[in-house]
Amino acid sequence: EIMGATCNKLMLSYSAYRNIFPIWALGKYRSCMLLSS
Q: Rounded CA gap, 23 and 5, in Å? A: 20
Q: Rounded CA gap, 13 and 1, in Å? A: 6
pLDDT at 1 over 60: no
CA atoms within 13 A on the CB side of 35: 6
Q: Rounded CA gap, 11 and 36, in Å? A: 33
15-27 pLDDT, tens digit each: 777 788 889 899 9
User: Which of the two residues, 33 and 4, has the higher pLDDT score?
Assistant: 33
Q: What percent of the chain has pLDDT above 70?
A: 59
Q: Rounded CA gap, 36 and 10, in Å? A: 31
pLDDT at 11 over 70: no
pLDDT at 9 over 60: yes
